[in-house]
Structure 1
Amino acid sequence: MRGDPVRGHLDGLLLAALEDGPLHGYAIITAVQQRSAGTLELRTGTVYPALNRLERAGLLRSSWESVGERRRRCYALTDAGRRALADERTAWREFTSAIGSVLDPARAPRPAT
């Protein structure tokens, strides 16, 4: 699944990938792909600008780390990022519940009469 289905949820996906600890950009992409069983494929051209935007917003912090001869930027959640992730999860649950009520009306809660 690429492109439009992920749009609008990218921030939450990136924040969730960093919940267990700092990762560099490619590891974030890999984490999302693995956690989605290969369904979600994020492109570097989408991920890195989003990581920079999230960092500017104070939801992430980054630092440079050296691995052998290579340097890579690692990202970690800030306290504000953890709160934003919790908000994203709440919004996601509300959204999927509402959509589920429409697509699968048999499972929708019945109004009190």
Structure 2
Amino acid sequence: MTMGLSSSGEQRRSQLLRGVLDLCLLSLIAERPRYGFEFTQALAAGGLELVSDGSVYPLLARMERAGLISSYRAPSASGGAPRKYYRLTEGGRAELARGRGEWHAFAGQVGRILDDFASTGDDTP
């Protein structure tokens, strides 16, 4: 029974994250240009370790096609192949600002509903 509950919680978390992963990536890029592997490291450090490279790279490609980010190649500090770094465009900055506002409004609304329901002490359907 616990396994189902945990699995359900992980699925919910994954679905929630899928809806805002683009904003998380834009926010990380706004901090500084980054290359692919740095995204999964930063997300994991922020508690979102369930995000894989397989989720990040296609999203970066879509955001680049949409004009939200641009990329450039720079030499690797380790002497390996050049790395592809991503940076925000003006459109990306505007989208991040808009997305942050929408997220905070949405999270506040959901928080109020969850808090109001919890304060009634009534959990019957």
Q: TM range, normalised to the smaller chain?
A: 0.7 to 0.9
TM-score (norm 1): 0.84
| Equivalent position SS for 1:94 | helix
Alignment of 1:14-93 (within 5 A): 14-34=25-45, 36=46, 38-67=47-76, 68-93=79-104
- Greater percentage in strand: 1
Tell me the CA shift for residue 4 of structure 1: 2.1
Rg larger for: 2
Corresponding position: 1:11 with 2:39: no
Number of residue-to-residue matches in the alignment = 105
Gaps of 5+ in 1: 107-113
SS of the residue aligned with 2:16?
coil
Q: What's the C-alpha RMSD, in Å, of the aligned pairs?
A: 1.9
Determine what percentage of the aligned residue pairs are the same residue: 37
Extract unaligned runs of 5+ from structure 2.
1-9, 118-125
